[in-house]
Amino acid sequence: MSENRVAEYEQLGPIAVITMSHPPVNSLGHGLRSAIVALIDQALADPQISAIVLTGGEKIFSAGADIREFDAQKQASAPTLHDVIEVIEASGKPIVAAIAGACLGGGLELAMGCHFRVARSDASLGLPEVKLGLLPGAGGTQRAPRLLGIERALNMIVSGEPERARQFAGTALLDEVVDGSVLDAAVAFACEVVKGQLVPKRARDIKIDAPRAEPLLQFARTAVAAASRSFPAPTQCVEAVAHAVGKRFDEGLRLEREIFMGLMATPESNALRHIFAAERAASKLQDVPADTPLRDIRRVGVIGAGTMGGGITMAFVDAGVPVVLLETRQEALDRGIEIIRGNYAASMKKGKLSQTQFDERLSLIEPTLDYACLADVDLVIEAVFEEMNVKRAVFGRLDETLKSGAILASNTSALDLNEIASFTKRPQDVIGLHFFSPANVMRLLEIVRGTETAPDVLATCMHLSKRIRKTAVVAGVCEGFIGNRMIARYAEASNLLMMQGASPQQIDGALQRFGLAMGPFRMSDLAGLDISTAARKRKAAVDPASQERIVADVLCEAGRLGQKTGSGWYRYEAGKRDAIPDPSVDAIIEQFRGARGIAARKISDQEVIERCIYALVNEGARILEEGIAARASDIDVVYLSGYGFPRHRGGPMLYADTVGLANVVRALKRFAAEPGAQSWWEPAPLLVKLVEAGRSFN
């Protein structure tokens, strides 16, 4: 077997086996593309070889084009993926793809260029380019309709969702679906081809017979346009498939390439590719070796069966991790269990959970009032009342009870984790695991690293986050960590705008048109005005200077706590969630302004966006320069997966890069120069430094 860096060559009788071996996912970078062409040429030149098997081995075929090459334009350097596929199609010796594991994007396009395809039944086949704001740019939109028919190809390309190979059995996409070694099966298949039993065929030669093509495409255009307002790629995918129906193959290929290059240049694709890299970068722990031994987490304890404790419990049992759920009072424990049971029953009713899964999940929960039941758990997550004395009591008890080596985590959303760690004799085992409500649904998990948190504790929790399907970001210790610290600044900015003349509905509307899932006042009504008011009062008790009466206090005192009381910033009809602007709130705001001598001014939607989003960005820059976040892209991940920031903008920090940091700084300086402006409008030193250096966050 001859080997070179990223692919191997082996001769098995009349069959040449070319194995891609470019870990971790056989991404089709320039090196691997060149190696495939070189080894195909070697097989073609060898008279002993009658057929070729192209494979990635028994674990993965290929995850497609190398996403990291896109910005370096290396994906366009010869041999391009198109070139490789042309070499395969033009081969005088039949080429059989042997597919196991992930066969995605350009990987599947490569396989579709082969004359035959053999796949293991559990292999994952898909064209996920649309999730990167692109479309299959190496013939996928032209070959898939020929191998699968238009409807199935459209679904695969527009959804970007992979399917198991067994779903394609009997289609022209797969010639054979096997359960054992796909390599053995493919070599045997190739031998059959050599014996002349099977005639090699090219996907490009298949005629598309689609009498219902036009109505189907028209339906797809309408449905996709309605579902993807912020992203151009899905509708372009439909157009590219339409070219497959109406045009010669090479013309369709040319048009596909044109559309692909156009999409590559869109800010939306740039944002989605940024998110792909950012989510993976966030899991990389700075100054913690990748091979740090992990602690074994087999059983978890959760303290507190309230909203957060119940959600956290569900997140773990959903991943098959047993949980000991502790409360101090039986009725609170019973209520917590009942809520969990109700949530699972609702999922079962929707068909998302089977009775067996329902029973399994509940059997993984051990309710208790006794700390002794926590003696052998490997990790405890405290989710009790956000009051330091309560944390002190709980962590004191945990310190006495838990076995050596157990991890003690707090779900606190703002309190000082280092102080919490000081309540124990094992601060090195203490960490913050800040879940977002509802904890069984929200993907974001802020892992708060205390000054003394041991590296292996951090590495264990990062690894665990993947097991419970969370997107984790490491935060240092400060009030509000990353997300809540920034959202506090954003809320202040929105409150100032409201005081200066913009109505809550104008501010919410502008930010929702910007792409946020919900504006700040609508969000406040959803969360409950009493929650944020109580947090402000707790802070004022410690820091009187931060005590300033705001309109929300007036609304709270009037019993307008938000959606749950039928009114807050908005009015709500009984049983409905529609936020209805309420003239009585406008009157309260007007009165509040009048009492402070504030004359309302006209404020543009653009100013609303700039003040609210730049306030976020400026606080993010401070978080970055203080080392609370390791990367700007980590901050983007927090906002995208925890705060509904629009994915087509890539996160607040990427948005600032897109706007241009110099423009952000110029606007902040303008805001800071206004009479009586808050000091936090001053541009963060890091922002100024980046502008002076002509650099960006990402």
Known catalytic residues are: 109, 129
102 binds ligand T1G (CB under 6 A): yes
DSSP 51-102: EEEEE--SS-SB--B-GGGGGGTGGGSSS-HHHHHHHHHH-SS-EEEEE-SE
336 binds ligand T1G (CB under 6 A): no
Q: What 3 state SS string does 545-590 have?
A: HHCCCCHHHHHHHCCCCEHHHCECCEECCCCCCCCEECHHHHHHHH
* Alpha-carbon gap, residue 387 to 636, rounded angstroms: 29
Q: Map residues 374-413 to x or -, x wherever contact with ligand T1G holds by CB under 6 A.
A: ----------------------------------------
Cβ proximity to ligand T1G: between 74 and 166 the closer is: 74
Beta-ladder partners of 473: 446
φ, ψ (nearest 5 deg) of residue 176: -155, 140
241 binds ligand T1G (CB under 6 A): no
Query: Which residues contact residue 196 at a Cβ distance below 8 angstroms, ignoring those fewer than 6 apart?
Result: none
* Alpha-carbon gap, residue 236 to 600, rounded angstroms: 45
CB of 419 to ligand T1G, least distance (A): 34
Choices 20-28, 40-48, 377-385, 625-633 (CB under 6 A): range interacting with ligand T1G: 20-28
Choices 44-52, 60-68, 579-587, 594-602 (CB under 6 A): range interacting with ligand T1G: 60-68
Exactly one of 30, 53, 66, 182 binds ligand T1G (CB under 6 A); that residue is 66
Exactly one of 134, 415, 497, 664 binds ligand T1G (CB under 6 A); that residue is 134
CB of 192 to ligand T1G, least distance (A): 30
128 binds ligand T1G (CB under 6 A): yes
27 binds ligand T1G (CB under 6 A): yes
Cβ proximity to ligand T1G: between 120 and 489 the closer is: 120
Give strand ranges (E) for 295-378: 300-303, 323-326, 365-368
64 binds ligand T1G (CB under 6 A): yes
Chain positions 79 to 98 lying near ligand T1G, rule: CB under 6 A, are 81
Give strand ranges (E) for 296-427: 300-303, 323-326, 365-368, 379-382, 407-410
Listed residue (403, 448, 397, 405) closest to 423, CA to CA: 397
Exactly one of 2, 24, 199, 676 binds ligand T1G (CB under 6 A); that residue is 24
CB of 281 to ligand T1G, least distance (A): 7
CB of 119 to ligand T1G, least distance (A): 16
* Alpha-carbon gap, residue 214 to 553, rounded angstroms: 59
104 binds ligand T1G (CB under 6 A): yes
136 binds ligand T1G (CB under 6 A): yes
CA distances from 399 to 420, 423, 425, 542 (A): 11, 8, 7, 27
Exactly one of 40, 61, 88, 105 binds ligand T1G (CB under 6 A); that residue is 105
Cβ proximity to ligand T1G: between 282 and 394 the closer is: 282
68 binds ligand T1G (CB under 6 A): yes
Query: Which residues contact residue 671 at a Cβ distance below 8 angstroms, ignoring those fewer than 6 apart?
Result: 611, 614, 677, 681
Exactly one of 6, 20, 25, 656 binds ligand T1G (CB under 6 A); that residue is 25
Q: Which helix (H) or strand (E) holds 241?
A: helix 233-246
* Residue recorded with tokens 């899905």: 234
575 binds ligand T1G (CB under 6 A): no
Query: Which residues contact residue 674 at a Cβ distance below 8 angstroms, ignoring those fewer than 6 apart?
Result: 681
Count, residues near ligand T1G per rule CB under 6 A? 24
Contact in structure between 260 and 251 (CB atoms under 8 Å): no
CB of 462 to ligand T1G, least distance (A): 12
107-120: b or e for each residue (b if 16 or more CB lie within 10 Å)? Answer: bbbbbbbbbbbbbb
Cβ proximity to ligand T1G: between 126 and 483 the closer is: 126
Exactly one of 65, 325, 439, 668 binds ligand T1G (CB under 6 A); that residue is 65
Choices 66-74, 382-390, 488-496, 514-522 (CB under 6 A): range interacting with ligand T1G: 66-74
Exactly one of 280, 298, 352, 403 binds ligand T1G (CB under 6 A); that residue is 280
Choices 127-135, 163-171, 201-209, 580-588 (CB under 6 A): range interacting with ligand T1G: 127-135
CB of 277 to ligand T1G, least distance (A): 7
Tokens of 666: 């110029």
* Residue recorded with tokens 């913009």: 502
467 binds ligand T1G (CB under 6 A): no
* Alpha-carbon gap, residue 622 to 597, rounded angstroms: 33
Rg (CA), the chain: 29
Q: Please confirm whether the linkage preceding 79 is cis (ω < 30° from 0).
A: yes
Burial class (CB in 10 A: 0-12, 13-18, 19+), 383: buried
DSSP type of residue 28? B
140 binds ligand T1G (CB under 6 A): yes
CA distances from 82 to 29, 65, 70, 130 (A): 13, 11, 15, 19
145 binds ligand T1G (CB under 6 A): no
CB of 21 to ligand T1G, least distance (A): 14
Cβ proximity to ligand T1G: between 132 and 462 the closer is: 132
Choices 128-136, 334-342, 576-584, 617-625 (CB under 6 A): range interacting with ligand T1G: 128-136
Q: Which helix (H) or strand (E) holds 190?
A: helix 182-194
20 binds ligand T1G (CB under 6 A): no
CB of 276 to ligand T1G, least distance (A): 7
282 binds ligand T1G (CB under 6 A): no
Contact in structure between 463 and 470 (CB atoms under 8 Å): no
Exactly one of 8, 89, 109, 636 binds ligand T1G (CB under 6 A); that residue is 109
CB of 24 to ligand T1G, least distance (A): 5
263 binds ligand T1G (CB under 6 A): no
Cα end-to-end span (Å), the chain: 43
Choices 63-71, 92-100, 197-205, 649-657 (CB under 6 A): range interacting with ligand T1G: 63-71
268 binds ligand T1G (CB under 6 A): no
φ, ψ (nearest 5 deg) of residue 405: 95, -10
Contacts with ligand T1G, residue ranges (CB under 6 A): 24-25, 27, 63-68, 81, 102, 104-106, 109, 128-129, 132, 134, 136-138, 140, 280
